[in-house]
Structure 1
């Protein structure tokens, strides 16, 4: 058993040597992260602000943080602390998204930390109710109020997004037409030819197949391929990689 544990990365004096086990099936990663969170993680709240802290080696913190970034889109860095590293994410929306993922289909967990997760869920419901109540009060206060023409224009632009002028639209259409008609320009910085693309046409086909045929959740596809949730959503809806089958 000792040698089996060492082969899986559980080595003696692992405090400063431990690495994230990368050969885990992507459907089981959240169970692994939950186990690590129960040991070296913390869920806390201060003045209605919720926060997750993870402590460990740089490799573990980097990998877990990359998962959290794909789930929430937040930008947080790993910070050295003595002989180890830690990362933290705050904000009730970010924290709830992460904790929902960690405790999805959970049957084994530390009761004390699961209790904090239940407190988080109650706090989130209360926060949403408070937002709705404030919005209703604001709507009532605005009823019958006369707005200036300038204020109406600002509210209209904020509601629908600033519109482009007709001349600007024509320039964009002309530019897109030239690019589509010229194969060299069309393929210059898109798809497999893009120097910054994390995906290839084969990976894109696999993503669409997994989503359509195996109903794999988009968040899991994002974590598996090392990209954001919005990237996966755009691929599935063919907003990007349009020319791939």
Structure 2
């Protein structure tokens, strides 16, 4: 994989119980790029995310992430690659990332402490990650139950950021939130992209095309395991070519793309 690709999928297919869930997916993400993947339930979005993470082995094709051929990693090598932090995953439910019994601040840096990162560096990374997602240091002294849903999701994103990944994979990061919390998380992700630039790429998976339109550079439309449309977000929203994309866009009363969307 060339250095200007953080993620490269070449003709990737995935089968579950002899049913093809992903069918010939080819996708690249460059440094600093935010790619939104939209599709209805059953389109293959979560399977795509799990394949990128190396949690699902493709039946065909190749997966390269941050310069590594994920298909070739097995056992200890795969575990070591995951611990390297090159790619981090943010769950739909932040409580899957945050230990309910310890302060949020401790959950955020748990991985760094396990890796025996010096205390001063742990403190620096935590402060930087919290600033990136717009959370106060005082707030994260609480248990997860003391935070709102949007605050917990931003804390989960901070937890992923402290290991300084090359690629952040977010699976339905706003679908479980109310409208106000959803807006806060979307704005945090836009600010994060603008702040990190080419240091961080993001793959954001959602059925919420409105949220993806606000934060993504490119929009990939997935239907029954196949990419039916892939292009700059503004162009896809303004002039959708595929009937499935047209139906998705028509189902949302108003869709705003922001000036943060880059051509």
After TM superposition, the score normalised by the length of structure 1 is 0.25
Higher strand share: 2
Radius of gyration: which is bigger? 1
Higher helix share: 1
